[in-house]
Amino acid sequence: MPFYRSFQTARETSQRVDNNVNNNPPQPFPPMFTPENLTPQPTEDTLPPQIQSEVPGEEMPDAKTPDEEIQEESMPNEALPDRESSPISGQSIPRPLYPVDYSTASFGGLRINTTNISTHLPIEDAVIQIRSEDETTPEAIEEIRTDASGQTTVIELPTPPLSYSEESGSPRPYSKYTLTVRARGYEPFQISGTEILPEVVALQQVQLLPLSTTMPNSSENLLIPEHTLYGVYPPKIAEDEVKELSGSGEIVLSEVVIPEYVVVHDGTITNTSAQNYYVRYRDYIKNVASSEIYATWPEATIYANILAIQSFTLNRVYTEWYRNRGYNFTITSSTAYDHKWIPNRNIFDTISEAVDNIFNNYLSRPNISQPILTQYCDGKRVSCPGLMSQWGSKYLGDEGYTAIEILRNYYGSSIFINTTEQISGVPSSYPGEPLSQGDRGEAVRQMQSQLNAIADVYYNIPNIAADSVFGPRTEEAVRAFQRQFNLSDTGIVDFSTWYKISEIYVAITKIAEYTR
């Protein structure tokens, strides 16, 4: 059976975190160069005692700059012969231009989505050349094109063995590829460092700039740095998990709200030259999780880590932590202060789906209104007693722990999963129950109206009548939408599909307003 969950016609729908009084977590399923503004490395005497180097007397090394290659054990190059069809899916795919031994190689998937950077509309017939950064040959190994929706099909690419991502200290567990993108009427674009893990699908967004009459033949080149579990980055400087704000005169939100956007400062707090990025909240969480954990880990582990990332981020939002200190951003990309967020990096299907399922959840303690500032470390190079170990959470997931059991193992038994229905930037909230064929009513009509507007932009989604009746034609359109946006192809408008439809509808509505 094909391993790619994202492109199977039918697959199980991921289970949302249950937010009832029992607080049951999701159960594990059966099995152009823009360098990062790097932060100064905190020394041992400036770090709190609970976060320190694993090696006594040894300072943590400085974060890697793009010009400083980290010398790590390289994964073995395997020679692989040409193929006519995929040994995994059985489907015919382009023949690679380099030799591969398909009897022993592992594979991961890659799907590329191209849009206009100004209008965010899909770009058809863009040509993408894919080159392995782990091979000595400079030639492209694949060349594919986007369809009318701006997407490529999922292609399979060789990766290191799955076992590399299952044990710390292993060689690099992902392969790296350079993508060169060209489309008529747009500047060429190149992105290096796209990460492909085995048995999951990497999703790479590419935004192209329309050709300039003043700077013809220019191009943009971007570099994705190493994953935080493989590269070297500053450890987190510990903070109190609950911020003392009473009587301080600081402005805080009256309730927990999921923001439409967060403003990410791509550098340290004091780096005034670092760029600020407006990033959709869900996209931010997906980027951070893809940068800080491996998408091949057990699903309960992925959920636990995403909940910790979301709760930390929502604490920064709720307390207006940086704005109350005179800064014009929500959060930084520095691992010493916040999370690792990397501009333009690829995300992964397992992480994307989990975030879509639980993005309005966060972690709480009794009688505390603010989301808990849930901090963590890798648990190998850096220890952090009392906080979550990323590698430790992986091993607990292997043992069958649920997401809430993993979290309580590190943060204590009083922590629980909370939820907010206050979601910014959407026309209306989820109706409370999934919509499926045979349903009728205002919620169906609203969904149909939004889906119909989306179909005017994404031509692979059929237009439908907003007649308040969920019939076969509506189900067909829902399935097409789910395939387009990497959701479970069920034809049912569940929590994640409802809010994804709302998100895309709001985006194309804004585009229409800008282009009038």
Q: Which of 266, 301, 293, 510 is nearest to 405 (CA)?
A: 301
Query: What would the pLDDT profile of 47-94 be if each residue is shown by its tens digit?
Result: 333 443 333 333 333 444 333 332 332 233 332 333 333 333 344 333
Q: What percent of the chain has pLDDT over 70?
A: 75
Distance of CA 305 to the CA centre of its chain: 12
Q: Cβ distance 408 to 415 under 8 Å?
A: yes
Place of tokens 């929590």: 495
Q: What per-residue confidence (pLDDT) applies to 103? A: 58
Stated as kind and residue range, the H or E segment containing 190 is: strand 189-196
Q: What is the mean pLDDT of the chain?
A: 81
- The model carries a pTM of 0.78
Residue 350's pLDDT band (boundaries 50, 70, 90)? Answer: very high
Q: Start-end ranges of CATH 2.60.40.1120 in the chain?
A: 106-223
Average pLDDT over residues 320-329: 93
Residue 344 has pLDDT above 60, yes or no: yes
Specify the pLDDT at position 136. Answer: 67
Superfamily for the 106-223 domain: Carboxypeptidase-like, regulatory domain (2.60.40.1120)
Closest Cα to residue 368, out of 330, 310, 315, 331? 315
Distance (Å, whole) CA 182 – CA 144: 11
